[in-house]
Amino acid sequence: GIQVEQSPPDLILQEGANSTLRCNFSDSVNNLQWFHQNPWGQLINLFYIPSGTKQNGRLSATTVATERYSLLYISSSQTTDSGVYFCAEFYGQNFVFGPGTRLSVLP
Amino acid sequence: KAGVTQTPRYLIKTRGQQVTLSCSPISGHRSVSWYQQTPGQGLQFLFEYFSETQRNKGNFPGRFSGRQFSNSRSEMNVSTLELGDSALYLCASSFNVVTEAFFGQGTRLTVV
């Protein structure tokens, strides 16, 4: 099946800093989503981005399907951005998730 | 528009017991998928239901089962609980399984 890698595994930032999270896939990308898991465990949809670039406030994402990777950009980070960020690709009949990037934003 | 609702939020059970978790999808969504999240294994797919039919199942023992009702609400059941079943169980709702999915807040199950 498809393998999903995420980097970096952990990231610590000062409030106001920018960051880039990366997701690599071993197979073709068709239904990629980015999620933020909050401290209470809920997965919050950030982007549904099988290709191209999307922006939502301080967050943006780019997927280059032909090269099998996606990037999530967080600008002017805030403490509320802390949590784990997952990318997932729909493969077969279910989402396959990456291991996540744990982001800690310090005040 | 209401989101995905999972109940209960927290549950403590004893080894050997059984448990039933519930998921109410977003109105109009017919696909409900279940995932287990543990620190060691990450997020793993359990099963997916569409229009009351289980269409796909992950690599979990038969103690894990589920069903979907005509109103698209879904339940999953775990029988003969083991300590290793302690996890966050997440339900995802989508119009069809290949479209954008939305997750509930999860049910955190602790088996003691």
pLDDT digits (tens, 9 = 90+) for A21-77: 999 999 888 889 999 998 888 899 999 999 999 999 999 999 999 999 999 999 999
Q: Do B97 and A92 touch (CB under 8 A)?
A: no
Q: Given this model, what pLDDT does residue A90 score? A: 85
| A80 has pLDDT over 80 | yes
Residue of B nearest to A40 (CA): B105
Chain centre distance of CA B103 = 10
Tell me the mean pLDDT in the region B9-32.
Answer: 96
Q: Does A100 touch chain B (CB under 8 A)?
A: yes
Residues near A8 by beta carbon (within 8 Å), at least 6 away in sequence: A21, A101
Between B105 and A93, residue with greater pLDDT: B105
Residue of B nearest to A36 (CA): B103
Q: Given this model, what pLDDT does residue A40 score? A: 85
Q: A-chain residues within 8 Å CB-CB of B93? A: none
| B2 has pLDDT over 80 | no
| B97 has pLDDT over 80 | no
Q: A-chain residues within 8 Å CB-CB of B106? A: 41-42
* Whole-number Å distance between alpha carbons of B51 and B36: 22
| B99 has pLDDT over 80 | no
The CA distance from B106 to the nearest CA of chain A, in Å, is: 6
Q: A-chain residues within 8 Å CB-CB of B90? A: 41, 43
- Say if CB B23 and CB B74 are below 8 A apart: yes
The CA distance from A76 to the nearest CA of chain B, in Å, is: 26
For residue B105 the two structure tokens come to 């807040």
| B107 has pLDDT over 90 | yes
Chain centre distance of CA A33 = 8
Would you report the helix, strand and coil content of chain B in percent, each value rounded to 5? 5, 55, 45
For residue B76 the two structure tokens come to 């999953």
| B98 has pLDDT over 90 | no
Q: Looking at chain A from residue 24 to 83, which residues have their Cβ under 8 Å from any Cβ of chain B?
A: 31, 33, 35, 40-45, 48
